[in-house]
Amino acid sequence: MAYWQWGDANSDHVIICAHGLSRQGRDFDVLAQALCQAAPGKLRIVCPDVVGRGKSDWLKDPTGYQIPQYAADMLALIAQLQAKTLDWVGTSMGGLIGMVVCGQPDLPLPVPVRRLILNDVGPAIEWLAIQRIGQYLGKAAQFESVQQAADAMWAISSSFGPHTKEQWLALSQAMVKPSGTGFALHYDPAIAIPFASATEESTKQGEAMLWALYDNIKAQTLITRGAQSDLLSVATAQAMTQRGPKAQLVEFTGVGHAPTFIAVDQVKAAVDFLIGKS
C-alpha cells in the first residue's frame, strides 16, 4: 500500500487522511498543505492510496476489495508510523474505515485515535446514492488527455460542489495514469465487483453493525456534510450528534457528496478541529 506524506517525517503527531471509494490519497493535497502551514514542523500527514487505487497494488482476488481488508491494511500502516498522537480524516469510504479503526476497542492501536473527521458519511448510507455510484464505478474508460478525463469526471462528480477549472484539473491529475497513447482511470475496475453485490437489504442489515461501531467511538468527532448530500441524510447526521461520540456537525451549502477540503471554509473547519485548542 503506497501513501503520500506531508510535514515532518519524524513527528509523532500523525494525521491519517483516507479517501473515498474511487479516489486516491492525493485528494488531500490542499488540506495537508494547510495543516502543515498551520502547525509548521509539528505534524506528519499520511494519505494512503487504499489497495487497488493510485500507486498501490491491485488484489488478485477482487472479493478483498471491502472494508475489513482496508482496515487491516491501515492497522499495519499505523503500526509502522509510531504515533503518540493519532488523528483520522475519512471521506466516505475512508470514514467507514475510520469507524472500524476507532470503534473496536480491542484493536492493536499504538494509541487511540484522538480526533476523527467523518466526511459526508455515517452508519446509515442512502441506497439511492449507492445506486448512483454503481452506475459509473468500474466502467473502463480511455482518455486522450488529462483535461478530457477531468471533464468526464466532472460530469459524474459535480456534487463535489463549486471548483475552479484549475482546482478541478489539479484534483484530477492523480485520478488517471498513462495507458497506451492516452490515459485511464487510476483504480482497478474490479473494485466494483464487491460493491455491485450489495443489495438494499444487505445495506440495511449492515447499519446495525456500523451504528454499534459508531457508538463505541471515544475520539472527539466532527461530521462534515455537504448540505445537498444524497449519501448522508440530515436525519442520520443529526442522530450522530446525539449518540456515541456526540459528534459536532458542520454543513457546507452548495455541496453534495462529498466535500473535497479545497474550499476555504471546508479547509478551515478541518484545520480548526484537528489542531485547535483542546
The predicted-structure confidence for 212-265, as pLDDT tens digits, reads as follows 999 999 999 999 999 999 999 999 999 999 999 999 999 999 999 999 999 999
pLDDT of 277: 54
How does the average pLDDT of the chain come out, rounded? Answer: 96
pLDDT band per the 50, 70, 90 thresholds, residue 78 = very high
Of 104-108, 190-194, 242-246, the least confident: 104-108
Contacts of 190 (CB under 8 A, 6+ apart): 52, 58, 59, 62, 65, 138
Does some domain include residue 180? Answer: no
pLDDT band per the 50, 70, 90 thresholds, residue 53 = very high
Is the backbone of residue 61 left (phi > 0), alpha (psi -120 to 50) or beta? beta
Average pLDDT over residues 193-209: 92
Residue 258: is the preceding peptide bond cis (ω within 30°)?
A: yes
Does some domain include residue 76? Answer: yes
What are the respective helix, strand and coil percentages of the chain, to the nearest 5? 45, 20, 40
CA distance linking residue 192 with residue 24, whole number of Å:
15
- Here the CATH number for the domain that contains residue 223 is 3.40.50.1820
Write out the residue range of the structural domain in which residue 51 sits.
3-126+207-275
Does some domain include residue 38? Answer: yes
User: How many helices (H) and strands (E) would you count in the chain?
Assistant: 10, 10
pLDDT of 35: 98
Tally of domains within the chain: 1
pLDDT band per the 50, 70, 90 thresholds, residue 172 = very high
Does some domain include residue 20? Answer: yes
Most confidently modeled range among 23-32, 130-139, 196-205:
23-32
Q: For 137, which DSSP code?
A: T
Is the backbone of residue 120 left (phi > 0), alpha (psi -120 to 50) or beta? left
Average pLDDT over residues 170-192: 95
Return the C-alpha cell found at 167. Answer: 482546482
Return the C-alpha cell found at 135. Answer: 452506475
Does some domain include residue 11? Answer: yes
Does some domain include residue 198? Answer: no
pLDDT of 140: 79
pLDDT of 278: 43
pTM of this prediction? Answer: 0.96
pLDDT of 276: 82
As a whole-number percent, the residues of the chain with pLDDT over 70 amount to 99
Does some domain include residue 192? Answer: no
Average pLDDT over residues 115-143: 93
Q: For 66, which DSSP code?
A: S
Q: Is the pLDDT of residue 267 over 90?
A: yes
Does some domain include residue 122? Answer: yes
